[in-house]
Structure 1
Amino acid sequence: MSRRLDVINLGDPAQRPAPKMMSSCETGGCGGGPEPLIPPPPTFGEVRVNGVEITPEAIAQEIQHHPAPDAETAWVEAARALAVRELLLQEARRAGISVSQAGDEAGRTEVEEDALIHGLLEEQVLPVEPGESECRRYYDANLDRFRTPTLFEAAHILIEPDGVDEDAWTLAFERARKIIGEIGDDASKFAAAARAHSGCASAQQDGSLGQIRRGELVPEIHSALEALPDCGTSREPVRSRFGWHILRLHRRNEGRTMTFDMVRERIADMLEARSWSIGAARYVADLAARNHIEGIRIEGTS
């Protein structure tokens, strides 16, 4: 089985949250983004691995790969990652690992240091291959993970108020109610009304929001959408911070639980990768305990 060797983070790989998918009402051209995290001067001493210094410049460059709630934590995580890397490089060279021992299945050549670490870990860390019964136990205990999401194929018409005062919101509400009365449950009338009246960019696609999963729209909109029958249009406008929405549910595709046979190979790969990750973390901790690390603590060592 192919495994991605993350030589910097050898514990159970943290799953970063998937980016929130938003309706076109929520996206915009505001531009910008978070300010880059600038590390302060470190409050710990020099970082060394068996006398080899991890320079502040190297830590400052590495810090971009370690998002953290504050700059000090990010600095520490970056320093720890580089210390682990240096520790593994020293051990690979001591063990006589050759670059030719590494390389991925596609035949691409890795840079020498990554190749050395790759070769060392592949030699020293052997995952436990899960059996059928272990895979089955995981499947039975985590059925919710193997269910396809319910999808809502939906559309909307956004009627935006002309101002922020309640009178403007009331006028927009009455306008939305009038449109609802004109279109009923007629799909073609809904599409035409979306093109003519909607303040959302989706108006160019007849108001279509595409296929929506639970959690991808603001709660008040999704709750109203859930209550609609297939091919149904809302009888009352629904308010959000963007304005009043006229909703239409084209169809609902209920999620289904995949069979064990469909996901058995995926579960086996996941359990084997987890076994390898735990083994790699233990190997690094043991290696750190047998070497001289200064200025940073590697998890699993005293």
Structure 2
Amino acid sequence: MAIHIHPPPPPAPPAAAPAQAALPEHDIVVNGTVIPAREVAAEMQHHPAVDAFAAWEEAARALVVRRLLLDAAAAAGLDPAEEDDAIGALLAREIRVPEPDEAAARRWFAANPDRFGTPEWWDASHILLAADPEDAEERSAARTRATALLAQVQEVPGSLPDLARLHSACPSREQGGHLGRIERGSTVPEFETFLAALVPGQVCPEVVQTRYGMHVVQLHHHAPRRTPRFEDAVPEVMRDLARVSWQSAVRHYIAVLAARATIEGFALSAEGEARADGPLVN
């Protein structure tokens, strides 16, 4: 009997993307200095965001804040030709943060326990059968394939790496599906939920469904969160508290500069004058 293999039908044309508001094309003026629209557009590549308009906002904010700092550096007699050096020297001169004492450090440690110690993590491997979350037929087919692969892994212990190399859509297939260390909060919640229910060495008895598709999962190791005693974390707590205090002081300083400045074409929001933990002021 002849077997005829027919080519799949051509894909349907993609749906038209929803219309988005046009990005601003005007220049921004800070204290008489023009920041051209093209500079804001070029800066956008350094500010990943949920959409293009949010990236434009971040880029414009960064350039406005930088202009404010350069103007302040020039007014202070610092050489603005070396921009980064001038900004660094200005902040070092203007920002004064007191050294935290033990009482403040203890309060900070108690109020922010997740900032210290070692987070919970897992070491795991998986096989991913990718499927569009909006395509019910594709997800059903992926689940069927994943269920069959899960049965093979359960029947032949140790077979997951070879099957991952053959079938997984994740780049980890090159390592036999090994994902390595996965810290709490670093992956999608549904994946973590199943990891947390497994014991080391166990293959998850059911297919794990996430927005990326269907997964066959095996846990190798689990390390619970470890929170140190305050006495053991003192140096780290002191550094963290000093850094946060400095960032807060920088934000306040930039707010003062913005209040004194004339800015046209951009509204510098009170809560977003500076990303004090970003490259602008590091």
TM range (shorter): 0.5 to 0.7
Preserved contact between residue 200 and residue 220 of structure 2 (Cα < 8 Å): yes
Q: Distance in 2 between matches of 1:298 and 1:197?
A: 50
- 1:88/1:298 Cα in 2 relative to 1: closer, same or farther (>3 Å)? farther
Amino acid corresponding to residue 41 of structure 1 in structure 2: H
1:273 paired with 2:256, answer no
Range 210-219 or range 143-152, more displaced: 210-219
Q: How many residues align?
A: 239
1:80 paired with 2:64, answer yes
Q: Distance in 2 between matches of 1:155 and 1:72?
A: 39
Amino acid corresponding to residue 65 of structure 2 in structure 1: A
| Aligned-partner SS, 1:144 | helix
- 1:284/1:170 Cα in 2 relative to 1: closer, same or farther (>3 Å)? closer
Q: Distance in 2 between matches of 1:280 and 1:181?
A: 56
Partner of 1:61: 39
| Aligned-partner SS, 1:233 | coil
| Aligned-partner SS, 1:234 | coil
Range 68-77 or range 143-152, more displaced: 68-77
Q: Distance in 1 between matches of 2:102 and 2:138?
A: 63
Preserved contact between residue 143 and residue 214 of structure 2 (Cα < 8 Å): no
| Aligned-partner SS, 2:239 | helix
1:205 paired with 2:175, answer yes
Preserved contact between residue 92 and residue 117 of structure 1 (Cα < 8 Å): no
- 1:146/1:47 Cα in 2 relative to 1: closer, same or farther (>3 Å)? closer
1:120 to partner: Cα distance? 3.7
Amino acid corresponding to residue 92 of structure 1 in structure 2: A
- 1:214/1:72 Cα in 2 relative to 1: closer, same or farther (>3 Å)? closer
| Aligned-partner SS, 2:124 | strand
Q: Distance in 2 between matches of 1:240 and 1:203?
A: 18
Partner of 2:149: 176
2:124 maps to which of 150, 154, 158? 154
1:89 paired with 2:89, answer no
1:139 paired with 2:109, answer yes
The two structures have a TM-score, normalised by structure 1, of 0.61
1:40 paired with 2:19, answer no
1:164 paired with 2:144, answer no
| Aligned-partner SS, 1:155 | strand
The two structures have a TM-score, normalised by structure 2, of 0.65
1:138 to partner: Cα distance? 0.7
1:47 to partner: Cα distance? 3.8
2:196 maps to which of 212, 226, 237? 226
- 1:139/1:156 Cα in 2 relative to 1: closer, same or farther (>3 Å)? same
Preserved contact between residue 127 and residue 167 of structure 2 (Cα < 8 Å): yes
Measured on the aligned residues, the alpha-carbon RMSD in Å equals 4.0
Q: Distance in 2 between matches of 1:245 and 1:298?
A: 45
- 1:78/1:145 Cα in 2 relative to 1: closer, same or farther (>3 Å)? closer
Structure 1 segment 222-261 matched on structure 2, within 5 A: 222-240=192-210, 243-261=213-231
After superposition, what is the alpha-carbon deviation per residue over 1:223-245, rounded to whole angstroms, capped at 9, x for unaligned?
22221111111223333455543
Preserved contact between residue 47 and residue 79 of structure 1 (Cα < 8 Å): no
Q: Distance in 2 between matches of 1:287 and 1:243?
A: 49
Unaligned runs of 5+ in 1: 1-36, 100-109
Q: Distance in 2 between matches of 1:283 and 1:174?
A: 58
Q: Distance in 1 between matches of 2:252 and 2:205?
A: 60
- 1:146/1:242 Cα in 2 relative to 1: closer, same or farther (>3 Å)? closer
Range 207-216 or range 224-233, more displaced: 207-216
